[in-house]
Structure 1
Amino acid sequence: MKRRLLAVLCAASMVFAMGTTAFAADEVKATGDEKIALITMDSIDQHWISLNEGAQEEAKELGVTVDFMSPNTKDDAQQIECVNNAVAGGYDAIMVAANGPDAISSALQEASDAGVKIVYVDSPANVDAAATFSTDNKAAGKTAGEEMIKTLKDAGVTSGKIGIINVNAATDSCVNREEGFRSAFDGTDFELMETQYGEGDAAKSQSIAENYITQGVVGIFGCNEGSTTGAGNAIKASGNDAIVGVGFDKSDAILNLIDDGYLHATMAQNPDVMGKEGVKAAVQAINGEDLGGEVTDTGVSVLTKDSAAE
């Protein structure tokens, strides 16, 4: 079944790629001297690894250099250090997924003032950038909520408590996912509980989810990879697979939890597309093209066990 899940995901990505014109309308031409630093929230989650793989693939195609210089863990101070190191290292552009909109803004502004081009992938900060490539997180969060409501109603459940596990209160992408998710429940009889924060750590998120389960929740939403994995593991440990787990991102652990029935669905983003298009935009910006700060939605697919069986 896991192979079929992966096949469905690949097919969805192919449809996305075939149904969308290139984000950068003009052909990208590189000199080969361009140096780009890729700084994501951490270097461990498969989401960031996939984003880097997409970036490296495009870098090879264009003949430019992209160095993955992300911190080991989600930490503002480490991310700021990575930005400062990129400036000191003479990089022409920084592709960055900001931990939060404000924490690294000063470092990014200093980089921009020094002539370094900024391109956001996945999550922006409050500094002007050449372009942004990310999921429409609010819309995707609402889709996650609608998927949970439908699944619960199909099981005859029209009320009950819903737990929400987020990363923190600052990360722009995850805050928007939660906002979209909550909006889906407007006018329903479900009770959305106070959000708990697990810093994207699967073990911390599992503990949060286990606490929600003791309070009798009928559903749990995870806002990122670690949150989702923790929620699924808690549902598995509880032995109560009637609890509907819905989350974000795709990893081997999440795919296995969906396959085994402990998670119902995940919102599968396209981090490889973010990486590829981010590199193209960075090269264009380095070579003087004005991209107008455009924000591009890189798409999302709802991945369930049922979708693999279709």
Structure 2
Amino acid sequence: MKKSIKVMSFIMAAAMVMVGFSACGSDEGSSSKAADESKASSAASAASTADGSKAASGEQIKISCITMDSLDEHWLKLQAGAKAAAEKAGNVDIRFDAPSNKIDSTQQASLVENAINDKVDGIMLAALDSTALSNVVDKAHEAGIKVVLVDSGVDTENWDAFYSTDNAKAAQTAADTMAELVGSKGKIGIVNAQAGAGTTQIREQSFIQQIKDKYPEMETLSPVYSDGDKQKALAAANDYMNGNSDLAGIYGCNEGATVGVGQAVEQAKKADSIMVVGFDFSKDVEAMIESGAIKATMVQNPKVMGQKGVEAIVKLMNGETLSSKEEDTGVTVATKDNLEQVVADQSY
């Protein structure tokens, strides 16, 4: 009897051990399954991040917009376009910076360095100097920051998009406009902005080349650089007028140069004999087109540049591909005849 009880006890103990092993195996299976699910979830999360879904997730996208200055209406319009696009996106935190003057490319490069150190997601840059800003654009690219150029380019290909006026084409149009105004003959002065800015260099060189190629009776005088400063441009225009009694016209390569030239011609009361063709649009330019001191100006679309710049960074952060890397944002020739419509289009 005792022997029978011992056998039964052994059988029951063995059964309990088997149940324990079975339960343990079940727990291990559940843990293994949970671990696999966790790994899969982590992998999916990593893949989502790799695809650049920060914008889609609603996280803040930090953008630094660095222009040539913060005063000219051109840059204020660009800022307005960028702000509108940021507000529409809803999850964009955009900061605007510019050097304290229009010629300090070293300070502008420092602003880009600051943006890199702040670990922004995107940088919108209007480079003061195409060469001086190249290194910091390379650094931003290496740091994985999206770089969108607006208005002016740099001497490197390490950027993601470029929205600007086709400055060569616009300068050719400016030359044709000047030729029509002066009867395709005479001396033409050129007042440029910064000597190193790629944009205004193109406007200068393409204007000169168009005159040379198409108008043999026209002569372009040596360009003068005003740093985009209205008073310097005014002085340069006066020098042209004082040194060339047969001066037929003066071409201004940006807003500051155009306004300064217009003021000089107006003050000298020579608006009927010296034709002024410029670049960019502002309230000052508008007033001098009205008065006749400026006959025509090439009007860019800086609001579109700012808008498309922000939109491009948001798309890139969302893992989307841009339809094109470079885009011409267009130009309109403003004269007294279409001034009202240009003013309406340029409001901000």
Query: TM-score per shorter chain, which class?
Result: 0.7 to 0.9
Q: How does 1:1-310 map to 2 (within 5 A)?
A: 31-63=58-90, 64-74=92-102, 75-127=104-156, 128-153=158-183, 158-185=184-211, 186-188=213-215, 189-214=217-242, 215-216=244-245, 217-241=247-271, 242-291=273-322, 294-308=325-339
SS at match of 2:147: strand
2:241 and 2:57 mapped to 1: Cα distance?
A: 53
Evaluate the alpha carbon distance shift between residue 207 and residue 29 of structure 1 in structure 2; reply closer, same or farther with a 3 A threshold: farther
1:180 and 1:91 mapped to 2: Cα distance?
A: 36
Q: Measure how far apart 1:184 and its partner are.
A: 2.5
TM-score for both structures, normalised by structure 1: 0.86
Q: Measure how far apart 1:182 and its partner are.
A: 1.5
Structure 1 counterpart of 2:190, which letter? I
Question: Percentage identity across aligned positions?
Answer: 40
Q: Measure how far apart 1:110 and its partner are.
A: 1.1
Q: How many residues align?
A: 279
CA contact (8 A) 1:133 1:274 kept: yes
Evaluate the alpha carbon distance shift between residue 70 and residue 294 of structure 1 in structure 2; reply closer, same or farther with a 3 A threshold: same
Evaluate the alpha carbon distance shift between residue 104 and residue 235 of structure 1 in structure 2; reply closer, same or farther with a 3 A threshold: same
Runs of 4+ displaced beyond 6 Å? none
Evaluate the alpha carbon distance shift between residue 90 and residue 309 of structure 1 in structure 2; reply closer, same or farther with a 3 A threshold: closer
CA contact (8 A) 1:131 1:292 kept: no
Deviations along 1:56-75, one digit per CA (max 9) or x if unpaired, are 00000001111111223221
Evaluate the alpha carbon distance shift between residue 151 and residue 309 of structure 1 in structure 2; reply closer, same or farther with a 3 A threshold: farther
Q: Measure how far apart 1:180 and its partner are.
A: 2.0
Structure with more of its chain in helix, by fraction: 2
CA contact (8 A) 1:133 1:297 kept: yes
1:286 and 1:45 mapped to 2: Cα distance?
A: 30
2:324 and 2:129 mapped to 1: Cα distance?
A: 19
CA contact (8 A) 2:137 2:159 kept: no
2:112 and 2:86 mapped to 1: Cα distance?
A: 20
Q: Which segment is superposed worse, 39-48 or 67-76? A: 67-76
Structure 2 counterpart of 1:218, which letter? A
Structure 2 counterpart of 1:181, which letter? F
Max Rg structure: 2
CA contact (8 A) 2:66 2:125 kept: yes
Q: Measure how far apart 1:309 and its partner are.
A: 7.8
SS at match of 2:138: helix
Q: Structure 2 unaligned runs (5+)?
A: 1-54, 342-348
Q: Measure how far apart 1:32 and its partner are.
A: 4.3
CA contact (8 A) 1:142 1:181 kept: yes
SS at match of 2:101: coil
SS at match of 1:184: helix
2:78 and 2:61 mapped to 1: Cα distance?
A: 19
* Bigger RCO (CA 8 Å, 6+ sep): 1
Deviations along 1:3-46, one digit per CA (max 9) or x if unpaired, are xxxxxxxxxxxxxxxxxxxxxxxxx9673410100001111111
Deviations along 1:275-310, one digit per CA (max 9) or x if unpaired, are 000001111222333438711000000000122489
1:93 and 1:46 mapped to 2: Cα distance?
A: 24
Evaluate the alpha carbon distance shift between residue 68 and residue 293 of structure 1 in structure 2; reply closer, same or farther with a 3 A threshold: same
1:207 and 1:233 mapped to 2: Cα distance?
A: 10
Q: Structure 1 unaligned runs (5+)?
A: 1-27
Q: Measure how far apart 1:261 and its partner are.
A: 0.5
SS at match of 2:314: helix
TM-score for both structures, normalised by structure 2: 0.77
